[in-house]
Amino acid sequence: MIIVTGGAGFIGSNLVHQLNAIGKSNILVVDNLAPAPNLTGAKFLNLQGARYADYMDKLDFMEALLEGDFDNEEITAIFHQGACSNTLEDDGRYMMHNNFDYSKALLHFAVDQEIPLVYASTAATYGLSEAFKEVPANEKPLNVYGFSKLVFDNYLRRQMDDIASTVVGLRYFNVYGPRERHKGRMASVIQHFTKQLKETGVIRMFEGSGGYADGEQRRDFVFVDDLCRINLFFAGLLDNSPQESVQAIVNAGTGQARTFKAVAEALMEVHGEGRIEYIPFPGDLKNRYQHFTEAAVEGLREAGYVGPFTSLEDGIRKTFEVEPAA
């Protein structure tokens, strides 16, 4: 059995589909399908066409895990993608319980059972830093989401030398791709720009901010299929996966920042011509917005992953081949 938490979400559902593509269907999908004000669509639709053996609610799964119901199961790998990823959520108690306590319990189970665990961390751990190497000096989260992920990364760091099995934290940068429409405001700019372009013929982006000119703010945009492949690699499910266990916290990004203007241009190549309009920077994002991200990928390469990354232009084209724009 393979366990995917957050398996109906954006990255989790793409991971389930990619597991299917390599012949894996004995999958337990764990998620929370309760209504949420920050979501604008039904997550379960992301699993249409996917093959999996079972589904559990995230609370039922954790209860069963703590009661020992999985102790004698043959589990090949755990992909922990489940979390509250709303960067505007200010309820720290909820965030820490959901992102930190849950992850701790899963870590201890995986380590005790010697099951490979690959989990989602985030580039939000870096905050406004413009240096993105995975060292404490660069880690300055701006929101409680980034803080909750960093606290878990640090919890793992303190135990790393005593862990024999694979445990890898992947600090996701700006992920985009199919199956993210349900995320509402938290969806990537690829989705937001597409909606604007299709509805109005105009793509609106921020005026100059953070020392960058109009539309020149830069992010490390990474295609979701690439992230899934990295997950599969470290979980030992690919032909070129490491033969020895790996313990690491590494960036999962392309290492090449691109401008928001480049995103708009790539979208207009796919959806048709439009124009760009610059709007004032919103006040509620002041001191909470990363104007620049670019993954340092040396740690990822040293951990053994040397695969290429999909270009922004190719990733955008592939996104709308899988899931045409509404």
Question: Tell me: the pLDDT tens digits for 269-304?
Answer: 999 999 999 999 887 777 777 889 999 999 999 999
> What is residue 38's predicted lDDT score, i.e. its pLDDT?
63
Nearest to 162 by CA among 204, 114, 205: 114
The Cα–Cα gap between 314 and 164 comes to 38
* Selected residue with higher pLDDT from 97 and 21: 21
> Which of the residues 24, 43, 183, 261 is marked catalytic?
183
pLDDT, tens digit, for every residue of 193-234? 999 999 999 999 999 888 899 999 999 999 999 999 999 999
Amino acid at 62: M
Q: Which CATH superfamily does the domain covering 2-175+221-255+294-309 fall into?
A: NAD(P)-binding Rossmann-like Domain (3.40.50.720)
How crowded is the C-beta side of 111, counted as CA atoms within 13 Å?
Answer: 17
* Over residues 32-58, mean pLDDT: 88
Confidence of residue 95 (pLDDT cuts 50, 70, 90): confident
Could you tell me the two tokens for 234? 């470290």
The full set of domain ranges for the chain reads: 2-175+221-255+294-309
Q: Which residues contact 59 (CB under 8 A, 6 or more apart)?
A: 32
* Selected residue with higher pLDDT from 87 and 162: 162
Could you tell me the two tokens for 160? 């790393």
* Over residues 165-188, mean pLDDT: 92
Q: Which residues pair with 77 in a beta bridge?
A: 2
Global pTM? 0.94
> Which of the residues 145, 172, 176, 305 is marked catalytic?
145
The Cα–Cα gap between 93 and 87 comes to 14
Could you tell me the two tokens for 55? 């589904």
pLDDT, tens digit, for every residue of 225-274? 999 999 999 999 999 999 999 999 999 999 999 999 999 999 999 999 99
> What is residue 98's predicted lDDT score, i.e. its pLDDT?
86
Average pLDDT of the residues of the chain? 93
Q: Is the pLDDT of residue 183 over 90?
A: no
> What is residue 271's predicted lDDT score, i.e. its pLDDT?
96
Helices (H), the chain: 10-21, 58-66, 92-95, 102-113, 144-159, 189-200, 224-234, 260-271, 298-302, 312-322
Q: Are 187 and 180 in contact (CB under 8 A)?
A: yes
Would you call 24 a catalytic residue per the annotation?
Answer: no
Confidence of residue 326 (pLDDT cuts 50, 70, 90): low
> Roughly how many angstroms between the first and final C-alpha of the chain, as a whole number?
35
The Cα–Cα gap between 155 and 153 comes to 5
Q: Are 250 and 295 in contact (CB under 8 A)?
A: no
Give how far Cα 57 sits from Cα of 8, 28, 29, 64, 110, Å.
11, 11, 9, 11, 19
> What is residue 321's predicted lDDT score, i.e. its pLDDT?
94
The Cα–Cα gap between 259 and 292 comes to 9
Report CA 222 to chain centroid distance, whole Å.
Answer: 10
Would you call 104 a catalytic residue per the annotation?
Answer: no
> What is residue 176's predicted lDDT score, i.e. its pLDDT?
97
Q: Which residues contact 240 (CB under 8 A, 6 or more apart)?
A: 233
Confidence of residue 34 (pLDDT cuts 50, 70, 90): confident
Count of CB atoms within 10 A of residue 197's CB? Answer: 23
Confidence of residue 37 (pLDDT cuts 50, 70, 90): low
